[in-house]
Amino acid sequence: MNSAPTGLYITADHLLSTSGLIHDAAMIADGDGVILAVGAANTLPRSPDLEHRHYTGLMLPGAVNTHSHAFQILLRGKSDAARDFRDWVDNYMYALALSADSEDLRLGAELAFAEMLRNGITTVGEFFYVHNGPAAPACADLGNENALLTVAAARRCGLRIHLLRTVYDRAARHGQQRFYEPATTAVERTRELALATSDMADVTVGIAPHSLHGASADGIQAAAEYAAETGQPFQIHIAEEEHDLAFARAEYGTTPGRALEKLGVVSDRLVVVHGCWLDTEEIEMLGNARAGCAYNPISNMALGDGITDTEAMVRAGVTIGLGCDGPCANHQVNLWQEARFAEWLQRVDKRRMNVLGPAAADHAETVNYPFEMATSNGGHVLGIPVGKLAPGYWADAVVVDPHDLSLLPHHNLDPAALLNNVVNSMAARGAVRDVIVGGDEVMRDGRLTRIDEAELAARGAAWQFGEA
């Protein structure tokens, strides 16, 4: 009688490892989906108790989306009429947040998460703050109900999720009613959520004070203390819009980055989100602390936020991961495009080419910095072992067709040319063929295996903004 496989022996035509491109490659993972070994197939003998799978094409680490508000994808097609950021928030995002019921939240999450997988994203950092019920009849306290619903949506699609449960203990605006919780309650519920999901290998939980305007000083400090206690990074929206500077001066008597310093929360666990309006000294402060940044370039463009000085951040020592935000101001969830525009926005701003590569030249392991922003840097920013095909990391990978028209010419599979094409020209929906999360095949030959795309599309087509 044959025993069940104790792990995986995966082979691929080509595989990008931390040591370079391997042809006729193999990757061994244990029964939990953790990588044990990567190398040439002829150097890694296959044990008979391992399940064998072969993938045709180029295997890459899956993309890591460090910052998402998945429900906001339901604003697609409507919120582009907004005049500016404030109008977008007040009359579109808040309107959706106040009206969306549990089925709406589930639909938004599944639409966003399924599209992430189709585009080669294997992990999402979901910055989640819809803690309470809809406005009518009242924004009832739902505890972790909506957070667990979102976790379930990610698992249904097959996406790894790091849910960043948000501290939102300031709610001056009517539209923020669904987000509000006392800071002590938010921290305790983050702890409860982490415990409730502790047996789910594809789920982790962190904390995120929303922003200087959404979280009080006490709330920000309580979140930072929880992060220190658990040894995790924590995220906070900082200096996204120019008007955030005036708020910080009115509330803290200084700039947004210095306000965090004043609160004593600047450390290697801090991850600033956006950071479009940080000055040079603030960036140096973050670099000295070895802080991180969850950068969302396409969302910043779509919302008219500004351009983050990522060149200065890289030179200062800030680790930058990429995110699609809400998702990406409701337009797309494609982290390879985020990597593209992370570099190209710097070219527009600095009026020269290849800005981030030279800025990262001191990073000994750097191969293609925008690519690393989309993969290994994302794992670092979220504090989980993803974004590399290496021992000790989750077996999260995507297989792309190197002969897809968007990846040609690749100059006889030259590694530098391949990565440049992945970042600068790849049409992900055509080129990404297979997706693996924790060793599980969640997309094969361009088709998701966990969720019925036709049924999901039917629900998405029937949904209307503002309709009961």
Q: Is residue 424 part of a domain?
A: yes
Choose between 331 and 321: higher pLDDT: 321
d(Cα 320, Cα 382) in Å, to the nearest integer?
11
Instruction: Kindly state the average pLDDT of the residues 439-458.
Output: 98
Cβ burial 339-372 (10 Å sphere, 16+ → b, else e): bbbbbbbbeeeeeeeebbbebbeeeeebbbbbbb
The pLDDT tens digits of the residues spanning 262-294 come to: 999 999 999 999 999 999 999 999 999 999 999
pTM of the model as a whole: 0.97
Q: Does an H or E element contain 373, and which?
A: helix 369-374
User: Model confidence at 468, in pLDDT bands (50, 70, 90)?
Assistant: very low
The pLDDT tens digits of the residues spanning 403-425 come to: 999 999 999 999 999 999 999 99
Q: Please give the distance of CA 299 from its chain centroid, rounded to a whole number.
A: 13
Half-sphere exposure in the Cβ direction for 324 (13 Å, CA): 28
Task: Of 348, 369, 345, 347, give the one whose Cα is nearest residue 357.
Answer: 369
- For residue 24, give the CATH number of its domain: 2.30.40.10
Mean pLDDT value across the chain? 95
Which pairing describes strands 63-68 and 50-61: parallel, antiparallel, or unpaired?
unpaired
User: Model confidence at 5, in pLDDT bands (50, 70, 90)?
Assistant: confident
d(Cα 462, Cα 468) in Å, to the nearest integer?
12
Decide if 179 contacts 219 (C-beta within 8 A).
no
Q: Is residue 157 part of a domain?
A: no
Q: Is residue 228 part of a domain?
A: no
As for how many domains the chain has, the answer is: 1
Instruction: Kindly state the average pLDDT of the residues 129-147.
Output: 95
Radius of gyration of the chain (CA): 21
d(Cα 221, Cα 446) in Å, to the nearest integer?
45
The sign of the CA dihedral 67, 71, 76, 78 is negative
Q: How much is the pLDDT for 466?
A: 74
d(Cα 143, Cα 32) in Å, to the nearest integer?
30
Q: Is residue 21 part of a domain?
A: yes
Question: Does pLDDT of 332 surpass 90?
Answer: no
Using alpha carbons, list the distances in angstroms from residue 271 to 126, 165, 189, 319, 380.
Answer: 14, 14, 21, 9, 10
Percent above pLDDT 90 for the chain: 91
Report helix, strand or coil for 117.
helix
Q: Is residue 312 part of a domain?
A: no
Q: Is residue 152 part of a domain?
A: no
What contacts 199, CB < 8 A, 6 or more positions away? none
In sequence order, the β-bridge partners of residue 27 are: 10, 38
Decide if 67 contacts 272 (C-beta within 8 A).
no
Percent above pLDDT 70 for the chain: 97
Range of the domain at 16: 7-61+388-453
Amino acid making up residue 76: R
Q: Does an H or E element contain 252, and which?
A: helix 243-252
Report helix, strand or coil for 389.
coil
Instruction: Kindly state the average pLDDT of the residues 42-67.
Output: 96
List the 234-238 sheet strands across, edge first.
63-68, 121-128, 160-167, 203-209, 234-238, 270-274, 292-295, 319-322
Q: Is residue 72 part of a domain?
A: no
Report helix, strand or coil for 274.
strand
E strands within 69-187?
121-128, 160-167
Question: Does pLDDT of 329 surpass 80?
Answer: no
Q: How much is the pLDDT for 137?
A: 84
Q: Is residue 239 part of a domain?
A: no
What contacts 8, CB < 8 A, 6 or more positions away? 27, 28, 29, 33, 50, 51, 52, 53, 395, 439
